[in-house]
Amino acid sequence: MRAAFRLPRFTQAYVLLLAPLFFMYTGDVSARSNASRPQLDEVTSTDVEFGSDRTAEELPEDLDSVKPRRQRRSTEFRREEFSEEVAAAKNTPKTYETDCGLVFLGGRFLSAPYILESSGKTVLINGNEIPGRILERNEQVRFWELCDYLDAGDILWVTDETSTVFANGSGRAELLMMLSSKKGDGKSFGDSFEDLLTYVPDYINRESFERDWNAIHMSPELSQAIEQQVAELEALETSFASLHAGATILNHAAYPLTVLGMLLCVLAFGHLLAYPPFGFNALSITSDSPIALQAVVRSLAFIAVLSCLDLLWTMLASGAGQMRELNPLGSQVIGDPNQLIAFKFAATGMGVALLFTIRKNQSAQVASWWMCLVLVLLSMRWIAFNSLFVA
């Protein structure tokens, strides 16, 4: 007699566990499908497909074929509404006032402050219409571009129903220096009027530009504005030259400082591991023993040397424009090297002198150990920072 087929025990266990879950899932799906199906007595003539002439009594028994009406706004209507909003924004008058920049209209200098107005069709500065399009944009974009240009100290030049802007890198410095030379104060940078014409756009007539240039009257107000702009350019040039010199020095000193910092960090960290003033070492060595006092003096020496290294790295990185001081006290004096050196030496010197005076105290030994560890971590941060820039 053939034995009856029986499933393995682990298969029977899986079937017993999964069967209830399967029936629960199928029952839940059936309930959800029945709940989502619309009822006949709840459907009206407005719920049927758009364009159908059937009423609720004429609906088919199979309500799955009924498509609900989708309430959606017309695309054309939304597009027209958006166009109306854009047109209203364009026609809204705008006003902006600034004291920066220079404006020349046909060889006539307009004094600041400059009040810019836009009605959506024209752009006015102090009541004078600005013709043409600087960047071939609409009037609203041109209005805000003029605001940005003047806020940046650029020069607006209008001649023969056209206009252009002399911005940084596009003739602003050359035009200011030529105006300064025309003023007769003796300042000259070696560029001639022909060099200035190279920055004039092609759509501006050269003869008209020369005519307006010769018509400029150097009033005291214009002379003062030119002097202020030239002073800002010279200060900016000096700042860039200082940053370039600082970056050059830092690049030359990067490798020697990195090697020196790594050597000092290794020595200081080895010292900290060898002479901790707590744990088993504190139980075997008293605070007034020669070994403990020698360890304190050595920790203070590492603190002084690593502080000098941190000061040198701070001055070089700050001079190159590659760091920002987060210390509230240090950020106030980082711009002046003399004050920074005095502040660093005073703060570090007072701490080292105080700990050296009470070096026989257990608390002073622990404090000097932790201060040395902090300086080691600070120097390791400088090494990582400098290595990233070297790479």
pLDDT tens digit string along 328-362? 777 778 878 888 889 889 999 999 999 999 999 98
Give CA–CA dist 353/350, Å, rounded. 5
pLDDT value, residue 309 = 94
Q: Which amino acid appears at position 356 of this protein?
A: F
pLDDT value, residue 135 = 46
Over residues 48-85, the pLDDT tens digits come to: 444 444 444 554 555 445 445 444 445 555 555 555 55
Is pLDDT at 174 greater than 60 in this prediction? yes
- List the 102-105 sheet strands across, edge first: 108-110, 102-105, 155-159, 162-166
| pTM for this entry | 0.54
> 242 CB contacts (<8 Å, ≥6 apart)?
319
Tell me the pLDDT band of 42, cut-offs 50, 70 and 90. Answer: very low
Mean pLDDT across 324-329: 76
Is pLDDT at 373 greater than 90 in this prediction? yes
What does the angle CA 194 – CA 195 – CA 199 come to, to the nearest 5 degrees?
110
- Which residues is 95 bridged to in the sheet? 117
Tell me the pLDDT band of 262, cut-offs 50, 70 and 90. Answer: very high
Mean pLDDT across 193-211: 81
Tell me the pLDDT band of 161, cut-offs 50, 70 and 90. Answer: confident
Is pLDDT at 33 greater than 50 in this prediction? no
Tell me the pLDDT band of 29, cut-offs 50, 70 and 90. Answer: very low
pLDDT value, residue 224 = 86
